[in-house]
Every structure is written in C-alpha cells, then in structure tokens.
Structure 1
Amino acid sequence: MVLIPSVNNPWPGGGGGDAPELRPGLEEADITPGIEGFLFTALVVVLLIVVVRDLVKRMRRMKYRAQVEAEYGEDEAEFPGEITESEISAAQQRSRDAAAEARFGPAPTTPAPPAENEPHPPSR
C-alpha cells in the first residue's frame, strides 16, 4: 500500500513509458510555434519594456515630489493667501520688522545666558 502516490509517480495522469507516435512524415524537429509564436513573444517583450519604463518614470516622479514636499513642507501656508518665510525676501523682512517696531515699539530682548567663567548670581 502506497501512502503518498506522488512519490512513486511524479507526473499525475501517467507519464513514463514511450512517447506517442507522430503521424507519418512529421518529425519532432518540425513541431515549433512558428512565426506566429515568435511574433507574439516579441510583442510581449516590447510591451513589457514599455510598461517597465513607464513604471520607472512614474516612480522617479513620485520620489522627486516626495523630496520637494519634505523640503518645503515645513514652510507651508496654513491658509490660502498666507505668505510664508520662504516667500519673503530679506528686504521685505526688514520692512516688516521696521513696521512692527514703529507700531508696537522695539521687540523685547531676552538676556543672554551668563558665560561659563562668570559667577552665577546666588539663588534664594
């Protein structure tokens, strides 16, 4: 009794034995897909090349968009019409600062931290 039939017969449906007889006048070398098979295979290869090139182009475009979004993502406007820091020139920023100083007074300055060799004031 055989528990696993595929061990003894690797090809389902028979196999083994002699190949079937060919009709008279036909040899094994004459059995080919012909020009139609060659043309179909060539067409599949050409289509595969076109599809892969298109895929690579789209993936490269997606990668560049992601890089640009990452670069400019932090300066993105919160609402339409807002001017972000990356869109302001140095001259525009100076004029904005001067207008803010004229309207609200000088900007408060924070005291600089003491140098390492200066003694710290005693804490209470």
Structure 2
Amino acid sequence: MTSIEDLRYTSEHEWVDARDGVATIGITAYAADRLGDVVYVSLPEVGDTVEAGTVIGEIESTKSVGELFAPMSGTVTAVNEALADSPETVNADAFGEGWLLKIQYTELPELLGAAEYQELTRA
C-alpha cells in the first residue's frame, strides 16, 4: 500500500489510494477515532455504479452512524467482505486491512493532499 503521506483525502475524512483507474477507499484513523468502536459497515454491492458526492454506505459505531460518500464516480469493483464479520478492523487498521471498497473510475476529482488534510483536522 501507498504511504499515508502519499494518499489523497476528502473533506468527509476518507482516504483514496488511486492507481491505474482503480481507487481503494477507506476512512481515516481520525474519522475512525471520532466514530468510536465500529460495530457495522454497510457498503454498496460489487457492480454498483456510484456518483461522486453521493452517500454510498454507512459506518455504525457505538456512538453514532456516519455516512460514506463516493469520492468519485465509477463502478464498485470490490468491497471488503471481511468487515461483515469484523467491523472493528476499521478502528484497528484504518489505512490497511480496514479498507472499505474499490471503485473503477474514469476521472479522478481534485482531492486533498496529506498536509491539506492534516490542516482540516486541526480546525
């Protein structure tokens, strides 16, 4: 996986690792920490078409429910099936085994760099 500094980020606290037209997406450790203990993850189905900026899933924790937004338009090519049995992996390894889904895209939108995202979380 790409280093945390080389990932791109959204203002909705998602990280994006985009390579060769496929983006792996997860939530940041900051978001996972704010949510608390994740107990359930709802994701789109493989083959679903998603549109940038729309809600495509939910992450439920002991404290609240957070919406997952599509950072780009495209087709879902994979979802992290392991999260159905172990949603707490999102908290334990947000940037690794806690990835959420992969989207095949044709156009990558403007996303935040690591330094820009860090500034956002300090606000």
Report the structure, 1 or 2, having the larger strand content: 2
TM-score category by the smaller chain?
Answer: under 0.3
Give the TM-score, by structure 2 length: 0.16
The structure where helix makes up a greater share of residues is 1
Higher RCO structure (Cα 8 Å, ≥6 apart): 2
TM-score by length of 1: 0.16
